[in-house]
Amino acid sequence: MSSSWTTPLRLHEVARGAVTVRLEPDEAERAKIAKALDLQSLPALSAQLTVKPWMEGVEISGRFDVVVEQLCAISLDPFEHPLSGEIEVRAVPAGSPQAPEPTGGEVDYDPDAPDPPDVLESDAIDLAAYVVEHLALEIDPFARKPGVEFDYTPPQEPDSPFAMLRKLKGEEP
């Protein structure tokens, strides 16, 4: 994701206890986010996050509310609609015993198991990047404007040459 909007938080700031952060990008930042996510515009975005210590890293939880403007996949008319989502992520510094082991082969996936923690590249967590990442997952790539219906009737197949000859001869198929 691009660095269109960043809000770093250092790990040592969370070591003393939970930190609550409210994030609201300005209009220029929302325009950059909209461009990065291939949206028409992003009229509103706000997030309320709580960051608390977890093992050697942090646990980020919270919620975001947004209004996105997209093109209708059917009529191609722009329209706005609200979205919201939950954020729940754990992150640890590189070298942490909780960091997932890099694998070069097949990975066993358990959909009921919690996600492994993210590995941080530095001692700072970019909270805005997590909000944009979770927003990207909530966006419907084929959004439909309310009330728009997809009405498709396949074209009539032309009669085959043999069917045309049968009609000329007066024979019914």
Q: DSSP letters of 126-149? A: EHHHHHHHHHHHHS-TT---TT--
Q: How buried is residue 62: exposed, middle or buried, by Cβ count under 10 Å (0-12/13-18/19+)?
A: buried
Q: Report pTM.
A: 0.79
pLDDT tens-place string over residues 32-61: 999 999 999 999 999 999 999 998 889 999
Q: What is the pLDDT of residue 1?
A: 44
pLDDT tens-place string over residues 1-34: 446 788 999 988 888 889 999 999 999 999 999 9
Q: What is the DSSP-derived secondary structure letter of residue 168?
A: H
Q: Which residues pair with 61 in a beta bridge?
A: 50, 88
